[in-house]
Amino acid sequence: MPGYSDLLYEVDSRIATITLNRPDRLNAISGPMLESFSRVLRDADADRDVRVIIITGAGRGFCAGLDLKDLTAGTGIGSNGTSDLATQKFDLANSPPVVLHTTDKPVICALNGPAAGYGMDLALGCDIRIASREAKLAAIFTKRGILPESGGAWLLPRLVGWAKAAEIAFKGQTLGAEEALELGLVNQVVAPEELMPAARRMAGEIAVNAPLAVQATKRMMRLGLEETFEANVHHVFLQLLPLFGSQDFKEGVKAFMERREPQFQGR
């Protein structure tokens, strides 16, 4: 497996774990880290041995956002020797928010600590969020003179509704773990020492299911966010046809008839 800048990557029991690994900077995102993050997501999505992806942070924070110290020094994201970001060309199609959104494997965020700015957007881009009691979601964009630039402006209203999203974003609110749970922004809140075990339990419950069916379900849910009901029904039917011909479908039916747990191979 190739090396990744400021990221740790491991695969165990069909679960890939991506760890943001700049604990001395609260895992603030650097330019090389952005490139590596897109690459590791694509690698995990293409790996047949991976069925679920967990994203977490090293140390006491999940992600403090984009590394503003590097950015203001002219050495950070988008730096090409000039401070005029408006004139620079960015490959947004291969940026982490877009790659994360189009990843077919289920992605669980193990929110170990504060997620601010870009870090909050990154957490919201995951399919499921499990939070430590010490976690926070900080929508600090308007307090820095910017906007949610990495998917949050699209994701937040869909997760909590327009009015609540407007309140959080316009005020630049910071939400504690329990408040995020009440709003439906996280699925579970657990003690810090239980975070990774809880995330792996959730991942394990997903990983035992037919991976082709899980991935097709995620694709159809994603498309359903932007298409009519009728269009989605047609797309689902077209996804269903190859699944009927899969070995996993035959195994699922056989296991049901034999009253045993199925053993899916992703074929």
Whole-prediction pTM: 0.91
Residue 262 forms part of a structural domain: no
**Could you read off the pLDDT of 43-63 as tens digits, one per residue?**
999 999 999 999 999 999 999
Stronger pLDDT, 107 or 65, i.e. the higher one: 107
Question: According to the model, what pLDDT value does residue 240 have?
Answer: 94
Same-domain pairing of 78 and 191: yes
Both 164 and 233 in one domain: the answer is no
Could you tell me if 62 and 86 are in contact, meaning their C-beta atoms sit under 8 angstroms apart?
no
Which of the listed residues 186, 207, 228 is the one where a domain comes to its end?
Answer: 207
Q: Does residue 246 share a domain with residue 146?
A: no
Reported as a single tens digit per residue, the pLDDT across 13-40 is: 999 999 999 999 999 998 889 889 999 9
What single letter denotes the amino acid at residue 214? V
Residue 1 lies in a domain: no
- Residue 132 shares a structural domain with residue 61: yes
Q: What is the tally of structural domains in the chain?
A: 2
Mean pLDDT of 178-198: 98
Residue 264 forms part of a structural domain: no
Residue 265 lies in a domain: no
- Mean pLDDT in the chain? 91
Domain span at 180: 7-207
> Does some domain include residue 51?
yes
Q: Are 226 and 152 contained in the same domain?
A: no
Domain final residue pick, 192, 207, 222? 207
Q: Please report whether residue 263 resides in a domain.
A: no
Q: What are phi and psi of 211, to 5 degrees?
A: -65, -35
Please indicate, yes or no, whether residues 186 and 105 belong to a single structural domain of this protein: yes
Residue 71 has pLDDT above 80, yes or no: no
Is 192 within a domain?
A: yes
Q: Which segment of 8-12, 28-32, 76-80, 203-207 scores lowest on mean pLDDT?
A: 76-80
Amino acid at 181: L
Each residue's pLDDT tens digit, 78-109: 444 444 545 555 678 888 999 999 999 999 99
11 and 89 part of one domain:
yes
Which of 169, 189, 207 is a domain's end point? 207
Q: Do 19 and 77 share a structural domain?
A: yes
120 and 70 within one domain: yes
Q: Confirm whether 267 is domain-assigned.
A: no
Question: Does 92 lie in the same domain as 65?
Answer: yes
| Distant-in-sequence, close-in-space partners of 120: CB < 8 Å, separation ≥ 6 | 65, 137, 138, 139, 148, 152
Do 236 and 113 reside in the same domain of the chain?
no
| CATH number (domain holding residue 247) | 1.10.12
Arithmetic mean of pLDDT, 196-223? 97
Co-location of 222 and 137 in the same domain: no
CA-CA-CA-CA torsion for 161, 163, 166, 167, nearest 10 degrees? -120
What does the pLDDT look like over 124-175, one tens digit per residue? Answer: 999 999 999 999 999 999 898 888 888 999 999 999 999 999 999 999 999 9
Identify the pLDDT of residue 89: 56
How many CA atoms does the CB half-sphere of 100 hold within 13 Å?
26
Which among 50, 13, 17 has a CA at the least distance from the CA of 211?
A: 50
Q: In CATH, what number is assigned to the domain containing residue 125?
A: 3.90.226.10
Structure confidence at residue 81 (pLDDT): 44
